[in-house]
Amino acid sequence: MSTHKPPVIAIDAMGGDIGLDVTLTAIALIQKRHNDVHMLIVGDEIAIRAHKAFPAIDDGRICIRHTTQVVAMDEAPASVLRHKTDSSMWKSIEAVRDGDAQACVSAGNTGALMASSRYILKMLPGISRPAICAVVPSRGGHVHWLDLGANVDAKPDQLVQFAVMGSELVKAVDEKAQPIVGLLNIGEEAIKGNDIVKETSKLLEQTGLNYCGFVEGNDIFLKEHLDIVVCDGFVGNVALKSVEGIAKYIQTTLEQEFRHSIFSKIAALFSLPVLRRTKRRIDPRTYNGATLLGLQGIVIKSHGNADAFAFANAINVARLEITNGIIGHIRKQLEQPQPRIPAEDTPA
Amino acid sequence: MSTHKPPVIAIDAMGGDIGLDVTLTAIALIQKRHNDVHMLIVGDEIAIRAHKAFPAIDDGRICIRHTTQVVAMDEAPASVLRHKTDSSMWKSIEAVRDGDAQACVSAGNTGALMASSRYILKMLPGISRPAICAVVPSRGGHVHWLDLGANVDAKPDQLVQFAVMGSELVKAVDEKAQPIVGLLNIGEEAIKGNDIVKETSKLLEQTGLNYCGFVEGNDIFLKEHLDIVVCDGFVGNVALKSVEGIAKYIQTTLEQEFRHSIFSKIAALFSLPVLRRTKRRIDPRTYNGATLLGLQGIVIKSHGNADAFAFANAINVARLEITNGIIGHIRKQLEQPQPRIPAEDTPA
């Protein structure tokens, strides 16, 4: 990945709950904001060109690659692998494999995106499955959290790989020399938790990572010195969605109470700037764009129901990861010897 | 449990991060609010009588049981079982076993409370370990959620037991005839999740429970028709603490933004009633008091850092469960034949 050639990002224009309305508007936003990015729009060329949100400015940084198929949001991964190899999702990933793009972004269905990415790009040496890594706001700024649903269970050595990959991602993107890694558990003491987290913790202590030990759910958002939180995909997915649920619940409750009476409506008017600033700081759209880590290429998953602002943020994640050469960093780190669970106690 | 005799609740007065300041103030609150409750205060009698918060009104509904020991907040359960049998926690549970009280409430350490309760009260027939069940706010009012950390992993038949016990609790306390049970998973489709949740789902379909299938993390707070959410204790504990973490983070962010400038401070003044009402609706103190389900007696766990308002709510949970004869209901339901995983496919 040369830094002299401007990066190209392949965009699955047809993916997501909404499709072109969102993806094309986001592409126009990125085109305006970042002079250094080229974009390859993958989808139905006629529909794209005819769409009102199709970028008006033709500055040579936008190309279209025509495809005839679309992956449905509820389509089984196996069906995609067999029947949807001319879909916008598939062709976006292929563009990365073939070097026509250095990253791809899709708001399409997660299972299909994962399966297709594994099939087309292959995993990095030593990695068996990708992990989904997203950024969430925290008292210390933000935290990278993985796995958020790629693996329904994970063995200790896989969790260690997640920690290694997350650590490299933060080093590159946030420019931190020694990012701090925590392992999600139900208590901070070494005796707490199930066998898998106990074993993982022992392995993590043997790595060169800046491992701070077990962290609890609340620490994700409240512990100031924490950069990466590692857990298996079942726990991560449930916890992240629970967090999204309560945040939405709090927002709705606040809105209801501000609509409660004429007095509270006046208070709402006075409070608008405060509420807007607060919303911006916790807005999940700001944090849209999860990385599928462990692949031989950059694949960014946007929320299916993202709007253009959120989808543009996902494209920006791709841009940052290309600029920082994240795949090279992870590959290099994985070539280091990883700690192993000893089969039995042997003298050193 | 006769309904003619007023219920007695044993209170571990020394438990929690704060101890007597909180527990005695809460006891005085309950004494004022509920004429039908007697309380057995368990702890250091001299310290209790000398304390400024010791209930001023002697209406014959308050007794003290003297104990000499206190269970530390970080004390290992095994140490409590061996060395702390004259602690306020231990004697509170014994009061339930001996029929001197119909429930006990403690803000002491969870592991110790669980281990002591299992040892002293024993489990209900067919139940191997207790489950921690708490109430959280939701769009439909509130949801009972279990297990929140008693078991670091759970087999399908245990998860079914959690569903049965949670269902009986809601039937009794919320007076719902057919409470709706959801199983926490990383997607709603049957193909999603790990083997344990898939197997559990099949079993739940064979019970007489009002089982609605898989639910996701956000559904806990946003799905209107949902009364009980079931998961293993690792997932439940991490997700609940994550939710507490983000709620705290949102609250802090909002407070910071309202202190931002003189204008936002004025807006804050106007908004005070709204913010207070919102806080009340999502205040974790309102929902304090988790039930240790599966024991042959009612044991309520309060947050360790609860204040008097929160601790009084935990006492009130005990009061409601006694009034509704919850143990009898669960016992009866467990006597029904439970679905089993078939060893092999046999003709019906």
Enumerate the residues of chain A whose CB falls inside 8 A of the CB of residue B268. Answer: 271, 274
- For the stretch B313-325, pLDDT in tens is 999 999 999 999 9
Say what the pLDDT of residue A190 is.
Answer: 76
Q: What average pLDDT is seen over chain B?
A: 91
Segment B156-163 shows an average pLDDT of 94
Q: Tell me how far apart the alpha carbons of residues B40 and B27 are, in angstroms, rounded to a whole number.
A: 10
Q: Tell me how far apart the alpha carbons of residues B295 and B299 are, in angstroms, rounded to a whole number.
A: 8
Q: Do domains B1-127+294-336 and B135-285 have the same CATH topology?
A: yes
Q: Considering only CA atoms, which of B152, B153, B138, B146 is closest in space to residue B181?
A: B146
Q: Considering only CA atoms, which of A161, A92, A173 is closest in space to residue A127?
A: A161
Asked whether the beta carbons of residue A267 and residue B266 sit closer than 8 angstroms, the reply is no
Say what the pLDDT of residue B340 is.
Answer: 67
Please state the CATH superfamily assignment of the domain spanning residues B135-285 in this structure: Isopropylmalate Dehydrogenase (3.40.718.10)
Say what the pLDDT of residue B2 is.
Answer: 45
A219 closest CB neighbour out of B184, B194, B245: B245
Find how far residue B194's CA is from the centre of its chain.
Answer: 27
> Can you say whether the dihedral through the CA atoms of A184, A188, A189, A191 is positive or negative?
negative
Q: Could you tell me the pLDDT band of residue B144, with boundaries at 50, 70 and 90? A: very high
- For the stretch A52-93, pLDDT in tens is 999 887 888 999 999 999 999 989 999 999 999 999 999 999
Asked whether the beta carbons of residue A216 and residue B241 sit closer than 8 angstroms, the reply is yes
Domain covering A1-127+294-336 in this structure, CATH number: 3.40.718.10
Give chain A's length.
348
Q: Could you tell me the pLDDT band of residue A335, with boundaries at 50, 70 and 90? A: confident
B246 closest CB neighbour out of A74, A186, A221: A221
Domain ranges in chain A? Answer: 1-127+294-336, 135-285
Asked whether the beta carbons of residue A254 and residue B274 sit closer than 8 angstroms, the reply is yes
Is residue A72 classed exposed, middle or buried when 0-12, 13-18 and 19+ CB atoms within 10 A define those classes?
middle
Find the residue in A nearest to B239 (Cα): A239
Would you list the DSSP string of B119-153? HHH-BPTT--S-EEEEEEEETTEEEEEE-SSS-SS
- Strand bridging mode B180-184 / B228-230: parallel
Asked whether the beta carbons of residue A243 and residue B240 sit closer than 8 angstroms, the reply is no
Asked whether the beta carbons of residue A76 and residue B153 sit closer than 8 angstroms, the reply is no
How close does chain B come to A78, measured CA to CA in Å?
A: 12
Would you list the DSSP string of A88-144? HHHHHHHHHHTTS-SEEEE-S-HHHHHHHHHHHH-BPTT--S-EEEEEEEETTEEEE
- For A287, which DSSP code? G
Would you list the DSSP string of B40-95? EEEE-HHHHHHSTTS-S---S-EEEEE--B---TT--HHHHHHH-TTBHHHHHHHH
Q: Could you tell me the pLDDT band of residue B138, with boundaries at 50, 70 and 90? A: very high
- Report ipTM for this prediction: 0.89
Say what the pLDDT of residue B347 is.
Answer: 42
- For A259, which DSSP code? T
Q: Could you tell me the pLDDT band of residue B341, with boundaries at 50, 70 and 90? A: low
Task: Decide if A285 contacts B261 (C-beta within 8 A).
Answer: no
- For the stretch A237-295, pLDDT in tens is 999 999 999 999 988 888 888 888 888 888 888 788 888 888 888 788 888 999 999 99
